[in-house]
Structure 1
């Protein structure tokens, strides 16, 4: 989907370098120093408009959160939401997440969230899916031992593919949920997409997979 041009986006990025990091490669291995504490760091790949990362930061003040988003018009919306929340335990990275090893050191991240990622349904595009084995290899590198990947999606095809991909890569499936909202999980923080799909009665799939 083509994103709407926001003329003020460049101004927001320039005025909030502490909130939206545009030179993340220089911060590799120093993210706890950037936050000013030694708390665990959780990473969301594909932050969208920021509802999830803001909500998670509010619910979990003992955790630091980093959200990655490439689209400038979207990340400034997430940045605005995060700024207005006043939370100090979350920041955003404006960059392509194709090579996470350039952004994070080995074992620097404690947990990864993949929320409503592009399913890339055509078989020839499988390598672009964020649960393709080349991405899993990167996750294993930057995650601490026994780190987890949590996937939420409305796309059954992506969910099924991801379960197989996780298993073939040697991850342990800690949770497989075929209808997340039917169970009333009070700890679940919804994304904007999730709210929209749930309102239509569409099932939301969630799984947690752990590296050995």
Structure 2
């Protein structure tokens, strides 16, 4: 569903520049300095309304979290979620994942999350999928050696495509779960989509992969 335009979004982001980075490219290679600590940095691409990253940050105060969301009318909701948790270990970025190498230097990220990404089901849109090989090349560039990617989705076709894409790229599959609802995982933090689909009994697929 298309989000309604929010003409006040720019002003709101500026007012909350302690949460959303209004000049993120200036932090390339120095994100730990911005957080003012040496804690690991985890990146979520496509943070949506922010439930996942806000709750992850609340549960893991010893980890710094960066949430990337390209839609302004959506990221303002994520800002509100982070404000509600009153955590200081989250920064949001209003940018596109195509710019990752301009935002982060080599080995700057410890872990990466892809939660309920747009499946881009049409074949002609394959290159837009966040598990297409050109994106994997970017992830390998910014992740530390043996860095982990965690993918969650309700879309079986995207999940199957991603598992094949990871394997063809030579990545190591650590976990493949075909229905997260049937697993007792107390560490799993749900997104808004995950809560909705899980309540309807729809399978949630998850995999964890690492680069060789």
So what's the TM-score if we normalise by structure 1?
0.98
Identify unmatched segments of 5+ residues in structure 2: none
1:150-189 aligned within 5 A: 150-189=150-189
Identify unmatched segments of 5+ residues in structure 1: none
Moved >6 Å (runs of 4+): none
Distance 2:169 2:22 in 1: 32
After TM superposition, give the deviation of residue 96 of structure 1 in Å: 1.2
* 1:56 alignment partner in structure 2: 56
Question: Does residue 99 of structure 2 align to residue 106 of structure 1?
Answer: no
Distance 1:109 1:39 in 2: 11
Q: State whether residues 55 and 85 of structure 2, in contact with CA within 8 Å, keep that contact through their aligned partners in structure 1.
A: no
* 2:130 alignment partner in structure 1: 130
Post-superposition Cα deviations, 1:79-133, rounded to whole Å, max 9, x if no partner, equal 0110121001111001111120000000000000000000011111110000000
Q: Tell me the C-alpha RMSD between the 2 structures.
A: 0.8
Distance 1:109 1:173 in 2: 19
Q: State whether residues 22 and 95 of structure 1, in contact with CA within 8 Å, keep that contact through their aligned partners in structure 2.
A: no
Post-superposition Cα deviations, 1:31-59, rounded to whole Å, max 9, x if no partner, equal 00000001000000000000000110011
After TM superposition, give the deviation of residue 12 of structure 1 in Å: 1.3
Distance 1:210 1:14 in 2: 36
Distance 1:110 1:188 in 2: 18
Secondary structure in structure 1 of the residue aligned to 2:79: helix
